[in-house]
Amino acid sequence: MNDQTSSPRRTALTGKILVTGASGTVGQAVVDALAAAGETVIAGMRDPRAWIAEGARRASGTAGGQQPGGYGTGRPGGGSNGSGRGAGVPGTGGRGVGVPGTGRSGTGGPGTGRPGAGGTGHGAAAPLGKPLRAPNQKPELNPAHKPEPSSLPATAAPQRTVGRPGAGAATGAGRGGKASAQTAAHPIGHAVDGSGASVRAFDFGDRSTWARALAGVDRVFLLVPPTIAEVGRTLIPFIDQAMEESGVQQIVFLSAPGVRSTPRSPHHLVEQYLKRTRTPHTILRPNVLMQTLSTLYRDDIRLRGEIVLPAGRAPVAFVDADDVGRVAARVLTEPGHLGKSYSLAGEQALSYAQVAEILTDVLNRPVRYTATTEAEFAESAAKQGATAPDIAAQASWYRVARLRLTALPNRSIRRLTGEGATTLRQFVEDHRQSWL
């Protein structure tokens, strides 16, 4: 379902697109989809060196298959900011599975990252309040305008237009000429990964990386790293800088399902800030990612033939990270999406017992699902190397699932991209080698 408000008219954009958390599950899917569309893409990540090396191997066809990694591990070169090839809910997390938004920082193999899962944030959500400026009034640049460290501003923040006139204009090829990301100029000596995207060091926790990552950018794909709970110190100031100093004209925010029931979560706080300041934005709320099965729970399935989770009997409308990437590319490159929110789910809802049946059928060997308690799940995850934040994030996913907040299928992906959402059986068949 779509939560829509009025959509301001957006002029054609020709600058670069910064994808934060680009080494994560959804981040990489967004990079790939934008590059395929001929956009000039900036892949922002904490430590791009190993990522670039692996990308070169992928491009040459010499890279090995995806290898299993423990809980919260990340793709080599991954790190915080939702990097790490893991699983989770769209939000952060390495190239893996989960609900958008999680994924432990670090390096290593596939990690986790359910979209939108993560810390609880701090402070109650501030009231929306009344904007201090009219919609068409130019924003005043105010370096001192920063939220308090422990919470978001209690009063309405200044309303934004689509950025400072002239700021953030692209210097390289962009939408107008449809130049491929693989042939785009690479300013400031930034390297290019195997997908052709320019790779720039970017860390929400290091403000010295922000201006360089935003150079020439007019759109941003934004997510909440799992390591960040205090968005008032990180994402909020970054949004301010992107809009008021760098001239960014659209932010696509990867949120999470069920944020309205968790008003203290980082995702809810960022959503409210974007709306209160009337920042030109689009919100995506993906369901649980299918990639959790091929990364986070891969060894349980491959070695033990089981899925053991505290999800009860609740059905889940799983979504493929690649579908989320395709949607993000659409809303970043075509008009009509400003001020809108999209819940992204598959077109069928399956219980984990039904997921196990599909795995059994495709793999031609038994896979069973066992419902467990949160305490038992936490103990098992800790023995397998999961950190306390990882365990807390995953536990929150399954609370959301048990509340059936991820149970409703929809056709948003089909409506937005013109193609149906990937089915779980298709995903398992396509990734069969992951469990062999």
Statement: residue 49 has pLDDT above 60? yes
Pairing mode of beta strands 41-45, 16-19: parallel
Q: What's the pLDDT at 50?
A: 67
Average pLDDT rounded to a whole number, residues 329-346:
97
CA dist., res. 113 & res. 315, Å (int):
19
Q: Which contiguous run of DSSP H or E holds residue 69?
A: none
Triad 86, 89, 95: Cα angle to 5°:
25
- For 55, the token pair is 């990308």
pLDDT tens profile 281-290? 999 999 999 9
Q: Which of 98-102, 156-160, 379-383, 423-427 has the highest mean pLDDT?
A: 423-427
CA dist., res. 258 & res. 287, Å (int):
9
Per the CATH hierarchy, to which homologous superfamily does domain 12-290+321-345+409-419 belong?
NAD(P)-binding Rossmann-like Domain (3.40.50.720)
Reduce the DSSP state of residue 198 to 3 states and report it.
strand
Reduce the DSSP state of residue 122 to 3 states and report it.
coil
Pairing mode of beta strands 2-4, 340-344: antiparallel
The alpha carbon of 261 is separated from its chain's Cα centroid by a whole number of angstroms, namely: 20
End-to-end CA distance of the chain: 37
Predicted structure pTM score? 0.73
- For 122, the token pair is 């701090």
Domain boundaries, the chain: 12-290+321-345+409-419
- For residues 28 and 145, the model is more confident at 28
CA dist., res. 189 & res. 309, Å (int):
46
Place of tokens 């599975």: 97
How buried is 14 (Cβ within 10 angstroms: 0-12 exposed, 13-18 middle, 19+ buried)?
middle
Q: In what order do the strands lie in the sheet with 2-4?
A: 2-4, 340-344, 281-286, 250-254, 217-223, 16-19, 41-45, 198-201, 191-192
Task: Provide the phi-psi class of 327: left if phi over 0, else alpha when psi is between -120 and 50, else beta.
Answer: alpha
Q: For the chain, what is the largest distance between any 2 Cα atoms, rounded to a whole number of angstroms?
A: 63
Q: Which of 257, 269, 290, 45 is nearest to 147 (CA)?
A: 269
pLDDT tens profile 161-173? 443 333 333 333 3
Q: What's the pLDDT at 225?
A: 85
Statement: residue 189 has pLDDT above 60? no
Reduce the DSSP state of residue 376 to 3 states and report it.
helix
